[in-house]
Structure 1
Amino acid sequence: MSKIKIDRTKDVQIDEDVNFESLISNQNILRGLSEAGYDRPSPIQLKAVPPGKLGLDVIAQAKSGTGKTIVFGVIALEMLNLSNTRPQVLILAPTREIAVQTKEVISNIGRYMNGLICHVFIGGIPVEQDIPKLKKCHIVIGSPGRIGLLLNKQMVAKDIKLFVLDEADKLMENNFVPQLKKINDKLPKTKQVLAFSATYDKILLKTLENFVCNPYHVMLSEDTPALEGKFNYLLFKFYEEKFKKMVNLLSRVPFYQCIVFLNHRGRAVDLANYLTSGLDQRIRLETMSKARNFQIRVLVCSDLIARGIDIDRVNLVVNLDMPKDTETYLHRVGRTGRYGTHGLAISFVDINELEFIESLKTNYHVDIQPLPGKLFFLLFLIHSN
């Protein structure tokens, strides 16, 4: 069956006439990549895989949805000694949902590596269920809290050769850094470290120096993640009108899947029957799985999944409340138009949020225009992309 050709934005396309065979020697990984739909590397994959395979510490930055997980996934898979079933790779993620998604991606592209064992370790699940998994596990993926707890118990770390910090900018925040330092101190000093994110600043890069040694930098999005392929528009509405107008919008426009972001759980509960972050861990994971399998078309949430989460068919993001900071806005909008596809972001703005709109324009050169009258034509183009 022939593959469907998708018109992708330039930020995931390369000018060089190369494919993954020039980057990766393991035929089983190449087969997994091909069947997962990865034929040619994106710019971040082309630039970051080679130094990573050489064993260098790498700090990499590229916009959301351009394939950073594939970078550290293939580096991790190629360095494994499958005959040794003790942990050899440790991947940290700031949220449980990102950790679960990372495990799914790596297991998918490594599906033809006989004997590969990859487990995820996160809060919300009894720690007693985790300990037996550590006895046979090549790649450990988890959140800092649970990994720190396991390292204090029965996790053997002496064979870990690779330490990955996914969404490193979030992991470098004050509430995570003490945990990360304790985890890092329990790992071999000779390990390789890879750090990935869509956003960094000078302070965060300075904090990262505590974890890397003479790192190789791959910076493809400079100071902030680009919004190529994202159409950003706003609607001026009074605060009290937002719920009604959003429901009206969703009933009138075509879309595959939509994520609606709000700032507070109470607001989300008022809008939907439940909020993902208010559910227990099992139901949260089931909800994310249903969204990825296209069983849920509208996902209402807080900023729990504003970063890192990849749901392929999301082509509409609605900001019912504007976030508290500009970086979160960029990550929210990054949930649509994944891996070079196109997407639409619509923000419902009241008079108290106009200052935030101006800060986006002044500090990040993001100019959000009023929603045009030809909305349906625009959405038709995006929907058919």
Structure 2
Amino acid sequence: MIRQDIHNEVPCPKVLILAPTREIAVQIGDLINVLTMGWENFSCYKAIGGTKVSDDVEQLYHSQIVVGTPGRIVCLLEMNFLKPQSIRLFVLDECDKLMEENFKIQIDKIYNRLPANKQMIVTSATMSTEMTEYLTKYMRDPALIRMNADKPSLIGVAQYTLMVDGHCLDYMNFESKIDPLLELLDTIQFNQCFVFLNYQTRVKYLYERLNSKGLSVIHITGDMSQKERLKTIEMFRSQRFKIFISTDLTSRGIDIESVNLVINIDVPNDCETYLHRIGRAGRYGSSGLAITMVGRDSNECDKFSTTLSQYNLETKRLHLPLTVDLWENFRRENSHSPNELPSSSSTTTLK
């Protein structure tokens, strides 16, 4: 549709794509630029916060695709820089995140400014029944395409649980996981690794601990400037560092092919976040390992069991020191069924 219009009409925005974070918006824009390389008279405009609204407005006027975050798109519409009348396709990427309360008002403002006859597409790795019902506010008789909705296991990612002693006090529970983390990083062979935590103070603390050990580590937090965040992701993407420590800021949509290990230091707050986190490994048809550390003497056992049971997920149990080669085990268990995850002998009940 877009390519046909290029030769028939004056260039102007035809497609509007929304993403919940600047990092995902930039990645989508970069991918579009790669896919359309060589197209004549074509441009994709990336509208993200952290830069001046007036920057590159001339490019916006002549771009066929605009991809950005809700806040910046609302700003462009209200300042009359983005002309919505020509939009024919409206896309919500990571829709479940965009439908959270902090985005809903902005999504409503954008939707109400767009033409009534536009086409709309929403995408997400996780989408609840409630979310599907809410989307009827924006879409008439939508066609739903779901892949293995009852058990959305990630093909190519072997999921493990590592029980540690833990502690009833939250900060002590976190501290009890650092030595086991170091042992995992020293024992498991990996290309690149994501380490996820729930708080940016912990991200900074863990970065200092691992960096002091001489590990190849980099980190990202929400209080960094946009320029710093994008530079950090690009340095990791170019494989200048092996370990990336982050909050859930990068748990969605960041695709780095060389990542084949994900470690959850903090148990995710819900199953959707868990699936998005471990989905950073095993991209583009590759294989990956996902390990979640659970404190035995904390409330994490029940929390993680509830998280897994939501989508009937199962994990295998790890013990330190590791007595098996996880990659060899992965290959052996997949040798007869290459398109399935290794079968799990454990249940979702943790003790």
TM-score computed with the length of structure 1 as normaliser:
0.76
Q: 1:188 aligns with which of 115, 118, 121?
A: 115
> How does 1:357-372 map onto structure 2 within 5 Å?
357-371=304-318
Which structure 2 residues correspond to residues 171-186 of structure 1 after superposition, within 5 A?
171-186=98-113
* C-alpha contact 1:157 1:187 (8 A) present in aligned 2: yes
Other-structure match for 1:294: 239
Q: Quick check: 1:163 aligned with 2:111?
A: no
TM-score, normalising length from structure 2? Answer: 0.83
Aligned AA for 2:301? L
Measured in 2, the distance between the counterparts of 1:95 and 1:298 equals 21
Q: Which residue of 2 aligns with 1:234?
A: 161
Shift of 1:225: 2.7
Per-residue deviation, residues 287-319 of structure 1 (Å, max 9, x unmatched): 111222222211100001111111111100000
Aligned-residue identity in percent: 38
Corresponding position of 2:144: 217
- Deviation of 1:77 (Å): 4.4
- Give the C-alpha shift of residue 119 in structure 1: 1.5
Structure 2 match to 1:63: none
Give the unaligned 5+ runs of structure 2.
167-172, 209-218, 332-337, 339-351
Question: 2: CA distance between counterparts of 1:144 and 1:120?
Answer: 12
Asked if structure 1 preserves the Cα contact closer than 8 Å seen for 2:16 and 2:89, the reply is yes
Measured against aligned partners, the alpha-carbon deviations of 1:96-152 in whole angstroms (never above 9, x if no partner) come to 111011011111111121221001111111212153332221110000000011001
Equivalent residues of 1:268, 1:300 under 8 A apart: yes
Residue deviations 1:152-175 (CA, integer Å, cap 9, x gap): 112111111111111111111122
Select the structure of larger CA radius of gyration: 2
Instruction: For 2:268 and 2:251, locate their aligned partners in 1 and report how far apart those are by CA, in whole Å.
Output: 10
Distance 2:180 2:132 in 1: 42
Higher relative contact order, chain-length normalized (CA < 8 Å, sep 6+): 1
2:327 counterpart residue number: 379
Aligned equivalent of 1:334: 279
Equivalent residue runs for 1:223-372 within 5 Å: 223=150, 225-237=152-164, 238=166, 239=173, 240-273=175-208, 274-351=219-296, 352=298, 353-371=300-318
- Residues 120, 139 of structure 2: 8 Å contact kept: yes
- Provide the C-alpha distance between the structure 2 equivalents of 1:236 and 1:336, rounded to a whole number of angstroms: 21
1:112 and 2:38 correspond: yes
1:347 Cα offset (Å): 1.3
> Distance in 2 between the 1:278 and 1:380 partners?
40
SS at match of 2:268: coil
| Separation of aligned partners in 1, 2:315 and 2:226 | 36
Contact 1:90 1:141 in 2 (8 A): yes
- Call closer, same or farther: CA 1:89–1:348 in 2, change over 3 Å: same
Deviation at 1:209, TM superposition (A): 1.1
Cα deviation, 1:9-41, whole Å, max 9, x if unaligned, reads xxxxxxxxxxxxxxxxxxxxxxxxxxxxxxxxx
Q: CA deviation at 1:179?
A: 0.7
In structure 2, distance between residues paired with 1:141 and 1:375: 47
2:132 — aligned with what?
A: 205
Q: 1:215: Cα distance to partner?
A: 1.6
Kept in 1: contact 2:2–2:64 (CA 8 A): no
Residue identity opposite 2:317 in structure 1: P
Confirm or deny: 8 A CA contact 1:199 1:223 kept in the other structure.
no
CA contact (8 A) 1:229 1:341 kept: yes
Whole-angstrom distance in 1 between the partners of 2:254 and 2:151: 18
Change (3 A) 1:235 1:180: same
Once the two structures are overlaid, the 10-residue window that deviates more, 356-365 or 117-126, is 356-365
Give the whole-Å Cα distance in 1 for the aligned partners of 2:152 and 2:251.
14
User: What residue number does 1:17 align with?
Assistant: none
Q: Cα distance, 1:382 vs. partner?
A: 6.3
Q: How does 1:10-159 map to 2 (within 5 A)?
A: 77-78=2-3, 80-81=5-6, 83-153=9-79, 154-159=81-86
Q: Closer, same or farther in 2 for the Cα pair 1:79/1:299, shift >3 Å?
A: farther
How far apart are residue 275 of structure 1 and its match? 2.9
Letter in 2 for 1:367: E
Superposed displacement of residue 378, structure 1: 1.8
Return the offset for 1:350. 0.3
Alignment partner of 2:101: what SS? Answer: coil
What's the CA shift for 1:375? Answer: 5.7
The residue identity in structure 2 corresponding to 1:250 is: L
